[in-house]
């Protein structure tokens, strides 16, 4: 089951402009990922942040492991590149951390939801219990200096862009979203055609006998008058 689920997710995410994904040694349980920030309002805009994801054999019942290969200076990123983020924590409620079960991993989660949560975390850091205390303090007390560290990480990330790879833009992401919505509308339209069709005159059956009967009734009424 895990291989089938992962292959479907891999194929879906491979079409997204904000990720660049490859299998490591053709192993479906090991992914090389680049997160590409396409939000122009983000401090990390146009960054190319490489990471490794390893999946357990019982996926999706247990969460994957995620690690940036080039660690970021961020309150929620450990020095080894791993993240402190609820969605990657094992299922169930944790009284020690105060995390609710709904905030942690569940079999309903998917790789896409993990990656989107990580992208959101970059600009919306949780500083109450930071993995990198120094980064958390800097963000709170000296945000301008923190932004300079982010810029340094952003520029460093661009060194990992593969040769010949064309970086997508915000417009590419918007275009992809529009194409998905159009495709969905087409699929919905096809379903309506299959289960009821149109109410237009072209699609309505024409009963010649009924029409002739109506004309006969009209002629008879005229004779009486």
* 161 and 196 both lie in a single domain: no
Long-range (24+ apart) CB contacts under 8 A made by 26-34 are 28/3, 28/55, 29/2, 29/54, 29/55, 29/56, 29/57, 29/59, 30/54, 30/55, 31/55, 33/115, 34/160
* 122 and 192 both lie in a single domain: no
The CATH number that applies at residue 134 is 3.10.110.10
- Span 39-49, pLDDT tens digits: 999 999 999 99
Share of the chain above pLDDT 90, in %: 63
- Exactly one of 84, 114, 118, 122 is catalytic; name it: 84
Comparing 60 with 101, the larger pLDDT belongs to: 60
* 78 and 159 both lie in a single domain: yes
Asked if residue 197 has pLDDT above 70, the reply is no
* 217 and 112 both lie in a single domain: no
Query: Is-catalytic flag, 84?
Result: yes
| Distance (Å, whole) CA 46 – CA 166 | 12
Asked if residue 53 has pLDDT above 70, the reply is yes
Task: Quote the number of domains for the chain.
Answer: 2
Instruction: Determine, yes or no, domain membership for 71.
Output: yes
* 191 and 121 both lie in a single domain: no
Tokens of 149: 């560290």
* 163 and 135 both lie in a single domain: yes
- Span 112-144, pLDDT tens digits: 999 999 999 999 999 888 999 999 999 999 999
The pLDDT of residue 186: 60
Instruction: Report residue 25: phi and psi, to 5°.
Output: 55, 35
| Distance (Å, whole) CA 138 – CA 140 | 5
* 150 and 195 both lie in a single domain: no
Q: Which of 12, 47, 39, 156 is nearest to 31 (CA)?
A: 12
Tokens of 153: 């990480």
| Mean pLDDT value across residues 73-86 | 95
């Amino acid at each position: 089951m895990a291989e089938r689920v992962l292959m479907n997710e891999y194929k879906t995410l491979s079409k997204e402009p904000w990720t660049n994904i490859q299998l490591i040694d053709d192993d479906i349980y090991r992914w090389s990922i680049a997160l590409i920030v396409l939000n122009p309002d983000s401090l990390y805009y146009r960054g190319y942040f490489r990471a490794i994801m390893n999946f357990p054999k019982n996926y999706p019942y247990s969460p994957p492991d995620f690690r940036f290969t080039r660690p970021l200076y961020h309150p929620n990123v450990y020095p080894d590149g791993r993240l402190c983020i609820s969605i990657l924590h094992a299922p169930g409620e944790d009284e020690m951390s105060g995390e609710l079960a709904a905030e942690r991993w569940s079999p309903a989660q998917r790789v896409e939801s993990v990656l989107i949560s990580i992208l959101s975390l970059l600009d919306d850091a949780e500083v109450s219990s930071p993995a990198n205390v120094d980064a958390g303090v800097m963000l709170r007390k000296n945000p301008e200096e923190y932004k300079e560290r982010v810029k340094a990480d952003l520029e460093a990330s661009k060194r990992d862009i593969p040769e010949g790879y064309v970086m997508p833009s915000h417009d590419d992401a918007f275009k992809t979203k529009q194409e998905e919505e159009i495709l969905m509308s087409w699929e919905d339209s096809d379903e309506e055609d299959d289960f009821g069709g149109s109410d237009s005159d072209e699609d309505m059956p024409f009963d010649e006998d009924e029409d002739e009967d109506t004309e006969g009734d009209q002629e008879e009424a005229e004779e009486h008058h």
